[in-house]
Structure formats: C-alpha cells, structure tokens
Amino acid sequence: MSISLFHSLEGKNVCFKSLSINDVKEIHSYASDEEVSRFIGWNLMNTLDETREHIETMLKRESIGTHMYASIILKLTQEIIGTAMIFNFDQNANHAEIGYVFHKEYWGKGYGTESVALMSDFAFESLNLHRVHASVVDVNIGSARILEKNGYELEGRLKDHYFIEDKYYDALLFGKIETK
C-alpha cells in the first residue's frame, strides 16, 4: 500500500503526516474530550499514557497493513487538528472504510470535508478501490454532512447499532463507488 503517499496528502487548508508518538499531547487534546470521543468508536483517553498506548496500537495496525492513519495538520498554523484513517480493507471486494476525528475547535470550518475529499481521492486513485464506506452514529449530523458533501450516499440504517452512555443509537451507512 502507498502509506507514504497517504502521509503526504495535501489540500488547500490541511495536509497529512504520519502518526507519531511524539505528538501524544496534541492527540490527547481531542482524544480526551468527551464531546469529541463520544461518537467516534474510540474509548475516551483519560491520561497521556492511555493516549500513548492508543497511538502505539494504531502504529502497530499500520505496520501490519490493516489500517492507514495520518495526523491532520492545519497548514496555516502547523497544528495537529485531527486524525484520518482508512481501514477494514476487503481485498476480494476491493473496498475499505474511512474514519476521521477532529479537535472540536475545528468543527464546522470545512476541514473535515477537505480531509474526506483527500482520503477518498487517495482511496480511488492510489489504492484503486472500487468502493469506500463509512459508518456514522445517527445523531452525529456534522459527520454525515461531511460525507454527503463528498458524494457519499446514505445506503442504509442499522437500528440500535451503537450503545453509548446507556442509550441506543442507529448507525447510518454511507458509501461511494468509483465511477471511472
């Protein structure tokens, strides 16, 4: 896989770089935020050590080729504002899943939309995937909008799929098929 290319993706406002254990404080700033971590599928990171262990897990997954991760950098300030990921590769069906998480200070500013565009283009053009998909908790309207702005279609709903904070939530399944 073209992991080094994934780590060097660049858009107008954001660029990607490889994850690093040296960035634990920056990643912890959003991984430890309850509002951010509530609907992303990561456990809340309460300590720097927990965040460090999570980064180590992500780096291990990337080294064996099951996942691709990148820190999302705001070009203007060079700050880490989030994490991008491509995972759940299915070689037979030629598809994968994308995910993303952002520090809440950067929500609603277009950085998610730009990051998903970079990941989608990379998935179709460099990985030659046929289909890319994402799963979103139904109340995470901002994340659903990011996908829709990038041409992902709502393909289905899984009732009571997520159990978060003693409450059930539906999963919204989005997908995009390469049309070339």
The per-residue pLDDT for range 96-106, each reduced to its tens digit, is 999 999 999 99
Global pTM? 0.94
Q: What is the mean pLDDT of the segment spanning 146-171? A: 95
Tens of pLDDT, residue by residue over 9-48, are 999 999 999 999 999 999 999 999 998 988 887 778 999 9
Candidates 98, 172, 97; CA nearest to 138 is 172
Q: What is the pLDDT of residue 42?
A: 77
Q: How confident is the model at residue 71 (pLDDT cuts 50, 70, 90)?
A: very high
Q: Map out the domains of the chain as residue ranges.
A: 3-177
For the chain, the maximum distance between any two Cα atoms, rounded to a whole number of angstroms, is 45
Q: Is CATH 3.40.630.30 correct for 3-177? A: yes
Q: Are 93 and 178 in contact (CB under 8 A)?
A: no
What would the pLDDT profile of 54-65 be if each residue is shown by its tens digit?
Answer: 999 999 999 999
Nearest to 146 by CA among 90, 98, 88, 103: 98
Q: What is the mean pLDDT of residues 136-143?
A: 95
